[in-house]
A and B are shown apart, each in its own frame.
Chain A
Amino acid sequence: MNAMQCIDRVVAKEAGITTVHQLIDKYPHSDWLSIIQQNYERAHLDIDSIMEIAELWVERAMAVDRRSLTTMGRIVGRQQRQSWSLLDHRMQQVV
């Protein structure tokens, strides 16, 4: 899978903000609007399909087994620990 198909620009660490500014400055806003409008018309979003998949997702979620629930619970725990360690790191930087 080539990430370049999903991501418009891949840049070095810390270069993201500058790249956003460069993208904005590259064309006048009206030109960007035309480009995005054309892209959108070429590959229209199927909102009915999005809604159908979302409904299917709710069905599936309500039917997940105990083991999957346990896995989700474990991931939540891991995410919480990760968040706390990030907060600790930020607090230490502030101190």
Chain B
Amino acid sequence: MTLNDVINPEKYTHMRVYYDSMRKTVWFRMGATPIPCFMPQLLDDINRLFEETAEYNLSSPLCLINYIIIASDIKGIFNLGGNLALFVECIKSRDRTTLERYTYSCIRAMLNSSQSFQYGAITIGLVEGDALGGGFEAALSCNLTVAEEQAKFQFPESVFHLFPGMGAFDYLTRIIGPVRALSLIQSRKPIQLTK
């Protein structure tokens, strides 16, 4: 595994990957057409990038990937969260297996993001637009998070009688404790950012 193998842009269909050699940083900007949510292909891209970075950093004595920046290519949107179209399709056709596979892929991405520092790659979430549901969870999974003041953070899942199930509660509990984590998840209210 070489650095060029990891950052080869042709391997990634749903995100734009580039390397900043001065800061030894890999940037990936999520695209995900037709909707900027966590499409299964985007999750595959993310997991591939993290897992190849691990393989590369562990085998390279130079360890040339020190940071991974998670951002969006879509103006005004970081990520809209879970793939609702897929949920509807799976629920209507009683396809539990696909839904479970999707869930595990999300959790794999979250854990890759929060634990990649163990092989030297620190994750920084750069939130320049709305981070809803799973998008908020993705930001929480990063080791550091930078948000621009216009970004909106919100868990809207209770609108359709669900809850954020891919790690939000555990990630928030670490930061603000279980009671406030639960209250934030249930509130549906967007978090106001103040500098």
Contacts and interface: CB of A to CB of B under 8 A. Distances in A.
A76 B147 contact: no
B139 to A, nearest CB: 8
A9 B35 contact: no
Contacts of A20: 69, 124, 126, 146
Give the interface size bracket for A toward B.
35 or more
A27 B181 CA distance: 30
Given A24-B67, A79-B37, A14 B148 contact: yes
Contact of B99 (A3, A10, A21, A58): A58
Contacts, number: 200
A36 B91 contact: no
B122 to A, nearest CB: 6
Interface string A67-95: 01101110110011011101001100000
Contacts of B37: 79
Interface string B104-141: 10110011001101001010101110000000000110
A79 B111 CA distance: 27
A11 B152 CA distance: 13
Given A25-B23, A72-B84, A73-B84, 10 more contacts: A1-B184, A6-B175, A12-B149, A15-B148, A16-B146, A29-B66, A36-B117, A49-B169, A57-B103, A62-B91
Interface of B: 23-25, 33-37, 66-67, 69, 71, 74-77, 80, 84-85, 87-88, 90-92, 94, 96, 99-100, 103-104, 106-107, 110-111, 114-115, 117, 120, 122, 124, 126-128, 139-140, 143-150, 153, 159-163, 165-167, 169-172, 174-176, 180, 183-184, 187, 189, 191-195
Interface of A: 1, 3-17, 19-21, 23-25, 29, 32-33, 36-37, 39-40, 43-47, 49-51, 53-54, 56-58, 60-62, 64-65, 68-69, 71-73, 75-76, 79-80, 82-84, 86, 89-90
